[in-house]
């Protein structure tokens, strides 16, 4: 009886406002499409319609007030212009380079992201990858499992993390969490960022090449923008040197992947820990045979625990929007780096598998990236 009364007090499903989903977030494939369920809104799933996306959007243009997206689904200016009543875009990712924030700002559309939910998980993975590369954990594991210990003797020793000079590219929420963890290893920390942060004690280098010259390892934590695309190329890798290690848990195209592959093959740097790649889910075949490379399938971003936090945040943002209350994790749109060109055009292939997003690559009427 109590359940029946509760159901009668809720508005009919058709009376609920619509949240448009262009592509299903990975959480749908893991937990089902009820994962972001709320009694205050309902989903309009473009990916389930046989109609071309542009036609689908025109059909529902008057009823869409909000969009749920993810790193695998771009929200372009063309999409936004087809939705005259759009007031909010919520992304399940921490990065926002897949959203045309300039158009959102121009139209007065709010944007909300994952906030700092994934920062600690990313930082844990970054330090884990660094430890793995330096101490050769994965390589030694393969050595033992292949039965080589008994036939070929001890595996070559690795290098310690303690006391290393580590440079962080991008001292935002993730970079800051990485630095906190490295302090426990008595590492000397320096960083490069868009501007110097007077509140931190670390050495600031305005130039990434100069940062690399003065470091044993570089950890990439910055956002993907026009300015950071291929920020790490031959010059930076050469500056890092043959004893240097590079870790990337940010976005694949920040590193010039072809140059990185050649440097690793020629042993011009010590090694790399890579959670992201330039053309996901495709990984350069040359990397597969290298013992000085540790890789993961773009899943550094989150854990089962942080996905639950993500669920609460996403639902909370939509419920706040439809209740005319402040958003939980609004993204300031007044001071954003430039996101255009290759960042908001072409094709993106993000693979987070059982992490933040599920890789989806498909050409629709909207332009897609990464």
Task: Assess whether 251 carries a catalytic annotation.
Answer: yes
Burial (CB count within 10 angstroms: exposed 0-12, middle 13-18, buried 19+), residue 224: buried
For residue 318, give the H/E element and its range. helix 304-322
CA nearest to 133, candidates 248, 293, 252, 244? 293
Spot the catalytic one: 98, 251, 270, 370.
251
Q: What is the DSSP letter of 223?
A: P
Spot the catalytic one: 257, 259, 280, 358.
280
Write the CB contacts of 368 (distance below 8 Å, at least 6 apart in sequence): 73, 74, 346, 347, 348, 361, 362
Write the CB contacts of 106 (distance below 8 Å, at least 6 apart in sequence): none
DSSP of 297-311: -S-TT--HHHHHHHH
Q: What is the DSSP letter of 41?
A: -
Spot the catalytic one: 177, 257, 259, 298.
298
Task: Assess whether 298 carries a catalytic annotation.
Answer: yes
Cα-to-chain-centroid distance, residue 70 = 10
164, HSE (Cβ side, Cα atoms, 13 Å) = 25
Please state, in angstroms and rounded to a whole number, the distance separating the CA atoms of residues 91 and 172.
18
25, HSE (Cβ side, Cα atoms, 13 Å) = 26
Please state, in angstroms and rounded to a whole number, the distance separating the CA atoms of residues 181 and 125.
11
Task: Assess whether 135 carries a catalytic annotation.
Answer: no
Maximum Cα–Cα distance for the chain, whole Å? 72
CA nearest to 18, candidates 62, 69, 80, 81? 62
Catalytic amino acids? 251, 280, 298
């Amino acid at each position: 009886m109590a359940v029946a009364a509760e159901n009668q007090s809720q508005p009919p499903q058709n009376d609920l406002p619509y949240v448009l989903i262009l592509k299903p977030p990975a959480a749908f494939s893991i937990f089902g499409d009820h994962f972001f369920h709320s009694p205050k809104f309902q989903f309009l799933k473009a990916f389930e319609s046989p109609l071309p996306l542009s036609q689908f959007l025109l059909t529902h243009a008057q009823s869409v007030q909000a969009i749920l997206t993810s790193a695998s689904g771009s929200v372009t200016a063309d999409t936004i212009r087809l939705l005259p009543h759009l007031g909010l875009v919520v992304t399940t990712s921490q990065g926002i380079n897949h959203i045309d924030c300039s158009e959102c700002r121009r139209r007065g559309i709010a944007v909300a992201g994952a906030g700092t939910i994934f920062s600690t998980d990313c930082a844990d993975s970054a330090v884990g990858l660094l430890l793995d590369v330096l101490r050769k954990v994965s390589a030694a594991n393969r050595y033992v499992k292949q039965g080589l210990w008994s036939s070929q003797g001890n595996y070559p020793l690795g290098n310690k993390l303690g006391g290393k000079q580590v440079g962080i590219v991008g001292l935002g929420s993730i970079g800051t969490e990485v630095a906190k963890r490295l302090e426990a290893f008595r590492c000397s920390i320096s960083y490069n960022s868009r501007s110097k942060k007077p509140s931190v004690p670390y050495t600031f280098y305005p130039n990434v090449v100069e940062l690399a010259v003065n470091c044993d390892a570089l950890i990439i934590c910055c956002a993907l923008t026009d300015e950071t695309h291929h920020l790490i190329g031959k010059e930076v890798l050469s500056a890092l040197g043959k004893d240097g290690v590079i870790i990337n848990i940010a976005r694949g195209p920040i590193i010039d992947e072809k140059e990185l592959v050649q440097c690793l093959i020629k042993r011009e740097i010590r090694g790399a820990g890579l959670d992201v790649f330039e053309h996901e889910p495709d990984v350069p075949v040359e990397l597969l045979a290298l013992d000085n490379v540790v890789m993961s399938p773009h899943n550094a971003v989150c854990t089962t625990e942080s996905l639950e936090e993500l669920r609460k945040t996403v639902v909370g943002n939509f419920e706040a929007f439809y209740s005319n209350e402040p958003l939980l994790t609004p993204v300031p749109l007044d001071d954003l780096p430039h996101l255009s060109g290759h960042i908001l055009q072409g094709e993106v292939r993000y693979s987070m598998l059982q992490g933040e997003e599920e890789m989806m690559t498909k050409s629709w009427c909207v332009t897609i990236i990464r």
